[in-house]
Amino acid sequence: MKIETGMLIGILYTAIMVPSVTYLLYSGKMKRELGWTISIISVLMGFAYFAPMFPWQLQSLMLGKIPQPNLPMVMIVSTVVILSSLLVGRVFCGYVCPPGAIQELAYLAPIKKIRLSSSITIKVRWVIFVIILATSVVLSFNLTKMLGLQDLFTLTLTPALIIFLAIILASTVIYRPFCRLFCPFGALSSLFSGYGLLGVRRKEGCVDCGKCSKVCPPQVLNERAGAECYLCGRCMESCHKGALRYSKGVGKK
């Protein structure tokens, strides 16, 4: 089976980084600067190899445009990464996916933020997911391409590139708009991540001070941190009681 070099590198990078990031989070060694460094490496992987770009590959699967020799590997790896959310939450989305990483870095811009509740973005994302699926299957229309995802990471100057540049610009004030509104891979991952074995849990010692909720970009800590949690770590850093940890179990809701 012949596999494209970029795809193979992306698979290997994912296989190394997902368990590595999981360990760093679980052990409490994932500091803010280290998370930024991993995100930068992931972004560079996107520009260098267009990998690991599973949102794009999932869209190609919907369109039936994966080369036949690569089809089994793409299906297996995409499924495994999505199902990994059942074990570790959205580690891939949070740190390994290049489009997610570039938005995470853009959100570091020191300007006033606009908070969108996940109760809103979830509804919008599933509407868009149905549109992506329907247009892919019925019309063979590649919405992800029209958003400029490939053009950004392959540095191709097209009108679609302007759209994704606008998404990145929006990411400076709105947390991960592509992930939370448009990404079909993220939509499927969210089905499982809310039931993940590992995730951010409230533990004994929580005094309900509200600091964690204030710094949570997707605004999920008033609910159960899981399906829409990108494991950015802001909540855990803000907790002066050490009552939030990436750990097993349900914990205090």
Task: Identify whether 69 is preceded by a cis peptide bond (ω within 30 of 0).
Answer: no
Angle between helix 184-193 and 54-63 (nearest 10):
110
pLDDT at position 15, please? Answer: 96
Domain boundaries of the chain, sorted by first residue: 5-198
Q: Write out the chain's pLDDT in tens, 253 residues.
A: 456 888 899 999 999 999 999 999 999 999 999 999 999 999 999 999 999 999 999 998 889 888 887 888 889 999 999 999 999 999 999 999 999 999 999 999 999 999 988 889 999 999 999 999 999 988 888 888 999 999 999 999 999 999 999 999 999 999 999 999 999 999 999 999 888 899 898 888 888 888 888 899 987 775 455 688 999 999 999 988 888 889 986 544 4
* Tokens representing residue 3 in the block: 């596999």
For residue 6, give the DSSP letter: H
- Residues contacting residue 155 through CB under 8 Å, at least 6 positions apart: 47
SS3 34: helix
pLDDT at position 249, please? Answer: 67
Alpha-carbon distance of 102 to 107, in angstroms, equals: 9
